[in-house]
């Protein structure tokens, strides 16, 4: 059974840009381990004859035709942006604090 | 920030080390719409107008795969003599960056659509080098960032502006296997490989392949190993090199830089490096770190792609002629020698010659103009031949004017110069500038009579049987007509007037 360490949770939180308290890190490592344990029951049930799937419904080749449609105007695109300039989204300095 | 690093002389580096190369070439596909959304795939439009909610990463949006992107990937697979996966899936590559609003790139991880191909790359002297292709996978492009303040660089910028028109443009990333054994020709091979990929994706029509628009972008991996070593050295990855010439220069520089590091007893840091066109050097980007843990997982919002043999065979049957095959055919049709044809290809005028021949000129005439006067004009103007403004149709027109004896070769060169300067078509220029050869006997006879009157000694020589002296009378006539006289006709008139010949 995989062991989920506190360090791993901290690493994941950092990658996912989620701020977690010490307490949360402690409880989350135990919680994640339980979840993995639960899911592994499914893995155990699947024999070699069952191929891994990423989708619950057996579908393939769902395609769209190559025809333009449904564009937003620039105004609509920027409508929800916290800040914009010259028709573009304005974001804080990327390297700030690195 | 960018401090110059030590480099070793290239020849010396080649005596001590063997370079190992690897390339990741990103090709933007020229589908009408994006890979997972129905927004137009177009370059140069108003910012944030070619976007749908999906391209902005808005909640609740779902991707649907563009069938044409798959079709194009199959085209590439067939062109690279590669395997096309019977089934493949997409995966999420997770990272945070403002150019990627959904916080992941939709790519392919362990199941690329194309794998195990190869490309035979011809170097300038005709030597062929086989490059093995590891894989090619489909993914979406990111938006475009413009940094504000800090003189346009990311360092010191106060903010960045984002245009998502490019976000979601279909990309196919072509990854080579490690390329060993190129030795001192590694930089040249780098350039030839990227050129060959560019020419192929253009020829099969899956990309506009304009490197200046970023349609083809190359990441170049370089490492060195001591001569005779059997383990690869630590590699660096120089990102986003934007022209075939720059790829050659970047590989040369990395070889020289790494050789100096290793020779001084140091170790090469595994890192990404940035190419600087102005100084022709690379500088350190960021070292590989935690942030490169992309936590790939299968994209749950897209279903697997299944490509059956019939689909591949249909694409194979429809595939246009590949550049290497076309070159062999054209060389035969044109009757050029190996060296002549190679010069034409290296000069980048094979397409122009082909179109000129297609439009009705002979291959020899087309070669004469494109490799001669037009190449010279482009060289003087410091432009690519294709950008000069002289078209195959212009060359055909010039040939027609010469065949009709309206102009001679010398005037034709002047006419091409005026065409390059945007004065119009050759016929228009000859008309507007009154460049037509004077073959009107009245005008020519008057000029001949004047020359005879001015040169009695020459006349005496001719009448005394020295026919070679005729040239001394033709010269003044040509001068009087500003080079526009038909020299053959002038000679006839001189002989008539003098009653000889």
- The answer to whether residue B3 sits within a structural domain is no
Cβ-contact B50, B41 below 8 angstroms = yes
Q: Are residues B201 and B338 in the same domain?
A: no
Residue A77 and residue B48: Cβ atoms within 8 Å?
yes
Q: Are residues B354 and B487 in the same domain?
A: no
Q: Are residues B374 and B333 in the same domain?
A: yes
Residue A98 binned pLDDT confidence (cut-offs 50, 70, 90): very low
- The answer to whether residue B397 sits within a structural domain is yes
Q: What's residue B289's pLDDT?
A: 64
Question: What value does the mean pLDDT of chain B take?
Answer: 92
Q: What's residue B3's pLDDT?
A: 57
pLDDT tens for chain B, residues 1 to 501:
445 689 999 999 999 999 999 999 999 999 999 999 999 999 999 999 999 999 999 999 999 999 999 999 999 999 999 999 999 999 999 999 999 999 999 999 999 999 999 999 999 888 999 999 999 999 999 999 999 887 777 778 889 999 999 999 999 999 999 999 999 999 999 999 999 999 999 999 999 999 989 999 999 999 999 998 989 999 999 998 989 999 999 999 999 999 999 999 999 999 999 998 888 999 888 776 665 789 999 999 999 999 999 999 999 999 999 998 999 899 999 999 988 998 998 888 999 999 999 999 999 999 999 999 999 999 998 888 888 999 999 999 999 999 988 888 888 999 999 999 999 999 999 988 888 877 677 788 888 998 999 998 999 888 888 888 888 888 888 888 888 888 888 888 888 888 876
How many separate domains does chain B show? 3
The position carrying tokens 């930089």 is B187
Task: Check if A39 contacts B (Cβ < 8 Å).
Answer: no
Task: Give the residue from chain A lying closest to B292, CA to CA.
Answer: A15
Q: Are residues B199 and B78 in the same domain?
A: yes
DSSP B387: G
How far is B115 from B129, CA to CA, in rounded Å?
19
- The answer to whether residue B400 sits within a structural domain is yes
Q: In chain B, positions 60-79, which contact chain A (CB-CB < 8 Å)?
A: 64-68, 70
Task: Check if B110 contacts A (Cβ < 8 Å).
Answer: no
How far is B261 from B279, CA to CA, in rounded Å?
19
Give the contacts of B295 (CB within 8 A, at least 6 positions apart). Answer: A12, A15, B94
How far is B230 from B292, CA to CA, in rounded Å?
28
pLDDT tens-place string over residues A4-44: 899 999 999 988 889 999 999 999 999 999 998 888 888 88
Q: Are residues B83 and B120 in the same domain?
A: yes
Cβ-contact B147, A96 below 8 angstroms = no
Helices (H), B17-104: 67-79
Helix B309-318 and helix B67-79, axial crossing angle in degrees, nearest 10:
70
Q: Cα–Cα–Cα angle for B388, B390, B392, nearest 5°? A: 135
Task: Check if B299 contacts A (Cβ < 8 Å).
Answer: yes
Residue A1 binned pLDDT confidence (cut-offs 50, 70, 90): low
Residue A15 and residue B157: Cβ atoms within 8 Å?
no
Residue B51 and residue A85: Cβ atoms within 8 Å?
no
Tokens of A11: 């690493």
Q: Are residues B166 and B191 in the same domain?
A: yes
Q: Are residues B336 and B473 in the same domain?
A: no
Residue B52 and residue A64: Cβ atoms within 8 Å?
no
Q: Are residues B235 and B333 in the same domain?
A: no
Tokens of B284: 């350190």
How far is B252 from B373, CA to CA, in rounded Å?
33
Q: What's residue B13's pLDDT?
A: 96
Residue A66 and residue B160: Cβ atoms within 8 Å?
no
Other beta carbons less than 10 A from residue B468's beta carbon = 8
Q: What's residue B335's pLDDT?
A: 94
Task: Check if A59 contacts B (Cβ < 8 Å).
Answer: yes
Residue A62 and residue B65: Cβ atoms within 8 Å?
yes
C-alpha closest to that of B71 among B32, B25, B110, B106 = B32
Residue A70 and residue B49: Cβ atoms within 8 Å?
no
Provide the CA B82 distance to its chain's centre, in angstroms: 24
The position carrying tokens 């304005």 is A90
- Residue finishing a domain among B283, B313, B343: B313
Cβ-contact B281, B5 below 8 angstroms = yes
Chain B partners within 8 Å of A71 (Cβ): 38-40, 49-52
Other beta carbons less than 10 A from residue B157's beta carbon = 21
- The answer to whether residue B318 sits within a structural domain is no
ipTM: 0.89
Q: What's residue B2's pLDDT?
A: 47
Q: How many angstroms separate the Cα of B386 from the Cα of each of B201, B354, B370, B374, B479?
A: 19, 13, 10, 10, 35
Tokens of B419: 């065409």
Cβ-contact B96, B103 below 8 angstroms = yes
pLDDT tens-place string over residues B428-461: 999 888 888 776 777 888 889 989 999 989 998 8
Q: What string of DSSP letters covers B211-267?
A: GGGTSEEEEEEEEEEETT--S----EEEEEE-SHHHHHHHHHHHHHHHHHHHHTT--
Q: In chain B, positions 185-204, which contact chain A (CB-CB < 8 Å)?
A: none
- Residue finishing a domain among B290, B313, B336: B313
If you compute the radius of gyration of chain B from its CA atoms, what whole number of angstroms results?
30
Task: Check if A69 contacts B (Cβ < 8 Å).
Answer: yes
Cβ-nearest to B303 among A59, A66, A91: A59
CB-count burial class (<10 Å; 0-12, 13-18, 19+) for B422: exposed
Domain span holding position B360:
323-432
How far is B292 from B283, CA to CA, in rounded Å?
20
pLDDT tens-place string over residues A42-76: 888 888 888 777 777 889 999 999 999 999 999 99
Which of B161, B163, B292 to mutate to test binding with chain A, by most A CBs within 10 Å of its CB?
Answer: B161
Q: Are residues B446 and B343 in the same domain?
A: no
- The answer to whether residue B181 sits within a structural domain is yes
Residue A78 and residue B48: Cβ atoms within 8 Å?
yes
Task: Check if B298 contacts A (Cβ < 8 Å).
Answer: yes
How far is B499 from B20, CA to CA, in rounded Å?
78
Question: Which strands sit side by side in the sheet containing B91-94, from one edge to the other?
Answer: B104-107, B91-94, B297-298
Residue B65 and residue A54: Cβ atoms within 8 Å?
no
pTM: 0.82
HEC sequence for B329-369: HHHHHHCCCHHHHHHHHHCCCHHHHHHHHHCCCCHHHHHHH
Task: Check if B52 contacts A (Cβ < 8 Å).
Answer: yes
Helix B350-358 and helix B323-334, axial crossing angle in degrees, nearest 10:
60
Q: Are residues B366 and B282 in the same domain?
A: no
The CATH number that applies at residue B465 is 1.10.10
Task: Check if B56 contacts A (Cβ < 8 Å).
Answer: yes
How far is B273 from B269, CA to CA, in rounded Å?
10
Which of A13, A56, A68 to mutate to test binding with chain B, by most B CBs within 10 Å of its CB?
Answer: A68
- What CATH number labels A1-48? 1.10.20.60
HEC sequence for B94-134: ECCCCCCCCCEEEECCCCCCEEEEEEEEECCCCCEEEEEEE
Helix, strand or coil, per DSSP, at residue B40: strand
- The answer to whether residue B1 sits within a structural domain is no
Sign of CA dihedral B144, B108, A69, B32: positive
Q: What's residue B130's pLDDT?
A: 97
Q: Are residues B374 and B450 in the same domain?
A: no
- Residue finishing a domain among B412, B432, B452: B432
Q: What's residue B1's pLDDT?
A: 43
Q: Are residues B83 and B232 in the same domain?
A: yes
Give the contacts of B215 (CB within 8 A, at least 6 positions apart). Answer: B27, B28, B30, B207, B208, B209
- Could you give phi then psi for residue B9, rounded to 5 degrees? -50, 135
């Amino acid at each position: 059974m995989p062991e989920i360490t506190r360090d791993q949770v901290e690493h994941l939180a950092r990658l996912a840009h989620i701020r977690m308290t010490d307490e949360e890190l402690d409880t989350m490592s135990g919680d994640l381990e339980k979840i993995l344990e639960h899911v592994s029951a499914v893995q155990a049930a699947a024999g070699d004859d069952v191929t891994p799937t990423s989708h619950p419904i057996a579908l393939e080749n769902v395609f769209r035709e190559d025809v333009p449609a449904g564009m937003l105007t620039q105004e609509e695109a920027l409508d929800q942006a916290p800040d914009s300039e010259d028709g573009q989204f304005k974001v804080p300095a990327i390297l700030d604090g690195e | 920030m960018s401090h110059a690093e030590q480099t070793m002389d290239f020849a010396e580096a080649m005596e001590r080390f063997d370079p190992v190369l690897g390339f990741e070439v990103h090709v933007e596909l020229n589908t009408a719409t994006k890979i997972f959304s129905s927004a137009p795939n177009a370059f140069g439009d108003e910012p944030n107008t070619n976007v749908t909610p999906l391209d902005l990463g808005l909640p609740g949006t779902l991707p649907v795969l563009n069938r044409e992107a798959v079709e194009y990937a199959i085209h590439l697979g067939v062109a690279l003599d590669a395997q096309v996966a019977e089934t493949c899936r997409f995966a999420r590559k997770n990272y945070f960056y403002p150019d990627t609003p959904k916080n992941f790139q939709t790519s392919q991880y362990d199941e690329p659509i194309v794998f195990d191909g190869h490309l035979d790359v011809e170097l300038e002297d005709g030597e062929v080098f086989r490059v093995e292709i590891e894989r090619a996978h489909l993914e979406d492009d990111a938006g475009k960032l413009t940094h504000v303040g800090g003189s346009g660089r990311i360092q010191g910028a106060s903010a960045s502006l984002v245009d998502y028109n490019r976000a979601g443009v279909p990309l196919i990333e072509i990854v080579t296997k490690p390329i060993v054994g190129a030795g001192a020709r590694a930089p040249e091979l780098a350039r030839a490989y990227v050129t060959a990929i560019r020419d192929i994706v253009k020829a099969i029509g899956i990309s506009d392949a304009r490197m200046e628009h970023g349609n083809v972008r190359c990441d170049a991996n370089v490492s060195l190993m001591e001569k005779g070593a059997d383990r690869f050295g630590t590699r660096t990855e120089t990102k986003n090199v934007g022209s075939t010439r720059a790829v050659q220069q970047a590989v040369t520089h990395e070889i020289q830089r790494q050789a100096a590091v290793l020779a001084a007893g140091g170790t090469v840091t595994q890192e990404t490096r940035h190419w600087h066109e102005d100084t022709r050097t690379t500088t350190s980007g960021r070292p590989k770190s935690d942030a490169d843990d992309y936590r790939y997982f299968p994209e749950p919002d897209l279903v697997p792609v299944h490509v059956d043999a019939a689909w591949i065979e249909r694409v194979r049957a429809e595939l246009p002629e590949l550049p290497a095959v076309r070159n062999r055919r054209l060389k035969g049709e044109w009757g050029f020698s190996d060296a002549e044809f190679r010069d034409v290809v290296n000069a980048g005028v094979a397409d122009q010659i082909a179109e000129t021949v297609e439009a009705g000129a002979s291959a020899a005439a087309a070669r004469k103009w494109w490799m001669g006067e037009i190449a010279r004009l482009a060289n003087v103007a410091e432009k690519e031949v294709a950008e000069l403004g002289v078209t195959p149709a212009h060359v055909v027109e010039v040939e027609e004017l010469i065949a009709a004896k309206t102009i001679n070769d010398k005037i034709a060169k002047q006419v091409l110069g005026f065409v390059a300067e945007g004065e119009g078509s050759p016929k228009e220029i000859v008309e507007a500038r009154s460049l037509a050869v004077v073959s009107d006997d009245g005008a020519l006879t008057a000029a001949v009579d004047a020359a005879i009157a001015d040169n009695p000694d020459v006349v005496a020589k001719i009448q005394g049987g020295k026919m070679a002296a005729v040239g001394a009378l033709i010269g003044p006539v040509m001068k009087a007509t500003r080079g526009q006289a038909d020299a053959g006709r002038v000679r006839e008139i001189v002989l008539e007037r003098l009653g000889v010949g």
